[in-house]
Amino acid sequence: MVPLPDELRLEGDRVVLRDWRDEDAPALAPVCGEWDVCAFSSVPWSYSEGAALAWIDRQRRKRAAGTVLALAIQTREEERALGNVNLASFSDDGREAAIGYWLAPAARGRGLATAATALLIDWGLGTFGLERVEFAILPGNLPSQRIAERLGAIPEGIREGSHRADDGRWWDMAIWSVRGSPRRPTSSAP
């Protein structure tokens, strides 16, 4: 457990990261049922307003417990949540964490995941005092690997059977990491 801020808002050139609000519940609808989102996160498989509100409440409780810092992704132009970026799996000493993210299908391909992930990594390494941020990516997920690469992450290899999916199966993951000082994307391409 690490001491996480009760509230957090981060503003970048393209995106704003902010706390999840109850009125953001509809933002989960487009990703409910997407295997690569639901199998590796706590996003519900089926959408209902109740399930979405319960997910938002769990993110608040996980933050209060010091285990997950989940933030809604929005653009600077619009207030609605388009996705999620989070730090989780903090090391016992609070110096390392894993990063995860997802976007609604309509928001993909615009560089928003790269911008949001860069913003949270910068905060984590700069303000929060992390020394290492880890990406655990399915080996076939080339778009996520490109995000890691754009952010200056270094590939560390495949960690066999390291990630348990919602269905109970264990998956090999490609591990990438960013260490040290905050970094900016090496390309503005999505």
The total of other beta-carbon atoms located within 10 Å of residue 2's CB is 18
Task: Give the CATH fold of the 9-179 domain.
Answer: Aminopeptidase (3.40.630)
Pairing of strands 132-137, 96-103: parallel
Per-residue pLDDT tens digits for 142-177: 999 999 999 999 999 999 887 777 677 788 999 999
Question: Contact 91/97 with Cβ under 8 angstroms?
Answer: yes
Domain segments of the chain: what residues? Answer: 9-179
**Distant-in-sequence, close-in-space partners of 163: CB < 8 Å, separation ≥ 6:** 40, 136, 170, 171, 172, 173
- Which residue type occupies 31? V
pTM: 0.91
